[in-house]
Amino acid sequence: MQKRKLGNSNLEVSALGLGCMGMSFGYGPAADKQDMISLIRKAVELGVTFFDTAEVYGPFTNEELVGEALAPVRQQVVIATKFGFKIENGKQAGLDSRPEHIKEVADASLKRLRTDVIDLFYQHRVDPDVPIEDVAGAVKELIQQGKIRHFGLSEAGAQTIRRAHAVQPVTALQSEYSLWWREPEKEIIPTLEELGIGFVPFSPLGKGFLTGKIDESTQFDSSDFRNVVPRFTPEARKANQAVVDLVKEIAERKSVTPAQVALAWLLAQKPWIVPIPGTTKLHRLEENVGAVNIELSADDLSELDSAASMAHGARYPEELDRLTGR
């Protein structure tokens, strides 16, 4: 497995990480815990050293799963988790990035993750009620106390990134980026490059769409959040099929899979980009890891660029979209 450094930091991770959210939350019923522990440990065997979770996934159950799975290999891996939501009666209940809350979350996450330090601590969403300087200051204190190693932001806009970075250097930004969501190329990626911040794209396979396994007739489980995503309406899926068709065509030419092409495209964009595809299936994990060895030619990349500019549909319903890009 190749390694990459997140921006100018000394945080070195595998070129592909593993997003663990879907094992407990978000994409239908939670998977079997023992199966997921085995899957996470298999990822370590395959060379993955970067694992992503958050207190709100479950809530809490995903951190507990990741903590248990990685406890025997804790020194070999990098664990990222997130703060910034209020959790009431086992449900997400708005944002809360007050400094005292950040410190409480850090202590609770350390326990669930069975560790004495969190490698990368992200603000999950920008809280409009708390100045980002106060958030960065709280994380800076946690770093000074040895509870946190690195500070991250998720779905933050360029101005927020700059303001946070001035108080406590930001090691990584986690936001959605893929062949069918290229918004970060306008302002975010140039900002990260200038400041020396790594980029960790989530949903690098377009929430499953770029694998070629979803079409306009696919039905999702009632608890699957793709049911409310405008980009997953049957009409949008039909319109976006052209992007997937081209990814499939290039995959066939190279004797690889569409998912591997989509991940290889992301890896080819910048050397400090580390995608975190999620899966609950061993064969998908092996397939994703295989993407690090795929070379896309300049012609492949330009073909993919032109197809991807045609993607249709908003990536979030309006109330979720309001939480991004501040």
Q: What residues act catalytically? A: 57
Does residue 59 contact residue 91 with C-beta atoms inside 8 Å? yes
> From residue 248, how far is each of 45, 114, 241 by CA, in Å?
29, 41, 10
Residues 138 and 198: their CA atoms lie apart, in Å, by 21
SS3 248: helix
Measured CA angle at 188 (ends 182, 246), to 5 deg: 15
The 10 Å Cβ neighbour count of residue 72 is 10
Amino acid identity at 163: R
As a whole number of angstroms, the distance between CA 323 and CA 173 comes to 15
Paired with 50 in beta bridges are: 78
How far, in Å, CA of 245 to CA of 251, rounded? Answer: 10
- 303: tokens are 């073909």
Beta bridge partners of 55: none
How far is it, in rounded angstroms, from Cα 237 to Cα 244?
10
Instruction: Give the C-alpha separation, 310 to 320, whole Å.
Output: 23
**AA identity, residue 120:** L
Cα–Cα distance for residue pair 67/262, rounded to 1 Å: 29
CB 159 within 8 A of CB 139: no
**CA distances (Å), origin 324, targets 138, 191, 306:** 21, 16, 26
